[in-house]
Structure 1
Amino acid sequence: MNDPSADPAAGHPQDRPAVLLATDLSPRSDRAMDRALQLARQWQAPLVALAVLPGGAGLISHPVLALSSDAVAERAARRRAERRLHADLADARVPLAVRVERGEVAATVLAVARAEHCGLVVTGVARHESLARALLGSTVDTLARRCPVPLLVVRERARAAYAQVLVTSDFSEHARRALQAAAALFPEAGFTLFHAFGNPYPLLAGMDVEQARQAGRAAAEEQARLFLDATPLPLAVRSRVRLRLAYGDPGLLLREHGAEHPGELIVLGTQRRSGLTGLLLGSVAERVLELAESDVMVVPPEQ
């Protein structure tokens, strides 16, 4: 936790990890742009704004980036995209790099994140509920599985800095990494450690349901205590961590929580696939990404 490279607020501005904004220049991406700009200013970090001329299906669909096989038309499309990004970010007040690339969207975003030494990738999704699963099943889902740095999926307007951060936890090592990464990125925020629990044993005929739930809560409270005791955190952050245990489906619970607590950031961790490249989101993380109303940050395991 004392590694300055993990903290965007540490070091000189030119040494701070950049924030990468992946945008399609459509109105739905404005919220992601505003949040990326707010974070870059908060951390005094460079901002890299990336638009991808698509080589196939993906995030980018705005007419200004229309696909063309004509070299002259492509150069014109690049210039239009660059002018649009410079215009939208004219008042950035942070070091700004504008990049327009062609290729498969997720692969290009990941390549630029590595090349620009970015510490966070920021993107958005459409708000049309009937399309949410299809969108998350393509570019955003691929980024969540493969991004080597935290990925922030923006849904809400950036009205203020994140003052409250909710970290989902199954008390595993990837959940510990998510909590530590969130504490490093947002050291002034208040933190909630969230765990959705079930029954600790199969319900038998005639068993009291409420008694079973109470047993599940008691087991979760003990796991949470052991988890926090074993997680290195700055004392100031640890003093602001509160526990929230709830019975039921975590995706639905967090959807309700987001509706009641607008502006709160949800953080979840991923785990590495055994013997394979890439990351494993897991059913809970996928459900949170699909259903949550709030902004969600996906934290990969340590490289």
Structure 2
Amino acid sequence: MTEAMRQPVLLATDLSPRSDRALDRALLLARSWRVPLVALTVVPTGAGLVTHPVLALSSDAVAQRAARRQAERRLRADLADATVPPIVHVEQGEVTSTVLAVAQAERCGLIVTGVARHEALARMLLGSTVETLARRAPLPLLVVRERARQGYTQVLVTTDFSEHARHALQTAAALFPEAAFTVFHAFGNPYPLLAGMDVEQVRQAGRAAAEEQARLFLDATPLPTAVRAGIRLRLAYGDPGLLLREHGAEHPGELVVLGTQRRSGLTGLLLGSVAERVLELAQSDVLVVPPQSSA
């Protein structure tokens, strides 16, 4: 077992029905890795109470305490059949900061959450809590969309051949060493198209350049022998978000992995336009991996 699989798993749930998928996945991972499950729900303060599934009639101190008690009852009821004894947290405050504070206090190695709203409204949600977590979390974030029927057996790692993409691949290999890995790269034209150029010839040149970059990238990436032996390379021309959405429809249950990068001169993280589109459009579960700490 790797060090990445020895730390507690944090489930961040808003207690909505679609969060049940994240709960099932978090339980499966904690049971498989034999680590504690930390289950957290955050009850907003003040007027935010009315937007939470645990409704309160007012925002006074009595209503706040009642909302917390009701949230804890619901969370414990959701976990009643858990085969892993959970550590339950019901907190109040700003959601993202609270999730990160609990993750740090419990020394968690992975945050698991879900897309709680209907997919047609996913962008609204990703523009708030999930996307903010993906930008700020110093540990991997698993965004669950699919039902957790089994452990991940197929993992697709997106890459732009950068160091943060390398770290994402290594992290996924450490977390899921028995899965079959595909390294995915969406390429474009290697130079601007001019009048009279053969479009197909230019595209083939782009593929050839991508194949060489991929070979150099994989050769320079330390990986477990078993993972390296089974890696497949998938190169495709076009928009990565749309390509991965189509791929996910054909490969349900496959985990998509993407890396984030650190903003220059800042402590925050930058998803980047490609990562944002993947997180927004992918139909599969997505593992967001932050850059390796320099500490």
Equivalent-residue separation in structure 2 for 1:120 and 1:138 (angstroms): 20
2:192 to 196, 202, 212: 202
Mapped pair 1:285 → 2:248: no
Asked if structure 1 preserves the Cα contact closer than 8 Å seen for 2:155 and 2:257, the reply is yes
Q: Which residue number corresponds to residue 130 of structure 2?
A: 140
Equivalent-residue separation in structure 1 for 2:238 and 2:268 (angstroms): 29
Mapped pair 1:24 → 2:22: no
Mapped pair 1:217 → 2:215: no
Output one character per residue of 1:230-264: Cα deviation in whole Å (capped at 9) or x when no partner. 00001011011100000000000000000000000
Letter in 1 for 2:114: G
Mapped pair 1:271 → 2:253: no
Letter in 2 for 1:233: L
Letter in 2 for 1:147: A
Mapped pair 1:255 → 2:245: yes
Q: Which residue number corresponds to residue 225 of structure 2?
A: 235
SS in 1 for 2:151: coil
What is the CA distance between 1:26 and its match in structure 2?
A: 1.0
Asked if structure 2 preserves the Cα contact closer than 8 Å seen for 1:58 and 1:105, the reply is no
Equivalent-residue separation in structure 1 for 2:56 and 2:103 (angstroms): 23
Letter in 1 for 2:211: E
Structure 2, unmatched stretches of 5+, are none
Using structure 2 for the length normalisation, give the TM-score. 0.95
Asked if structure 2 preserves the Cα contact closer than 8 Å seen for 1:56 and 1:103, the reply is no
Describe the shift of the 1:257–1:18 C-alpha distance in structure 2 as closer, same or farther (beyond 3 A).
same
Mapped pair 1:102 → 2:92: yes
Letter in 2 for 1:5: E
Equivalent-residue separation in structure 2 for 1:143 and 1:281 (angstroms): 11
Q: Which residue number corresponds to residue 11 of structure 1?
A: none
Letter in 2 for 1:117: R
Greater shift in the superposed pair: 282-291 or 47-56? 47-56
Q: Give the superposed CA RMSD.
A: 1.8
SS in 1 for 2:18: helix
Output one character per residue of 1:24-67: Cα deviation in whole Å (capped at 9) or x when no partner. 11112111111111111111111011000113798994432548
Equivalent-residue separation in structure 2 for 1:301 and 1:67 (angstroms): 43
Equivalent-residue separation in structure 2 for 1:176 and 1:143 (angstroms): 21
What is the CA distance between 1:91 and its match in structure 2?
A: 2.4
SS in 2 for 1:259: helix
What is the CA distance between 1:186 and its match in structure 2?
A: 0.2
Asked if structure 1 preserves the Cα contact closer than 8 Å seen for 2:46 and 2:59, the reply is no
Asked if structure 2 preserves the Cα contact closer than 8 Å seen for 1:191 and 1:240, the reply is yes
Output one character per residue of 1:151-199: Cα deviation in whole Å (capped at 9) or x when no partner. 0011111111110000000000000000000000000000000000001
What is the CA distance between 1:88 and its match in structure 2?
A: 1.3
Equivalent-residue separation in structure 2 for 1:249 and 1:53 (angstroms): 38
User: 1:70-81, aligned counterparts within 5 Å?
Assistant: 70-81=60-71
Using structure 1 for the length normalisation, give the TM-score. 0.92
Letter in 2 for 1:17: Q
Asked if structure 1 preserves the Cα contact closer than 8 Å seen for 2:43 and 2:49, the reply is no
1:5 to 3, 27, 36: 3
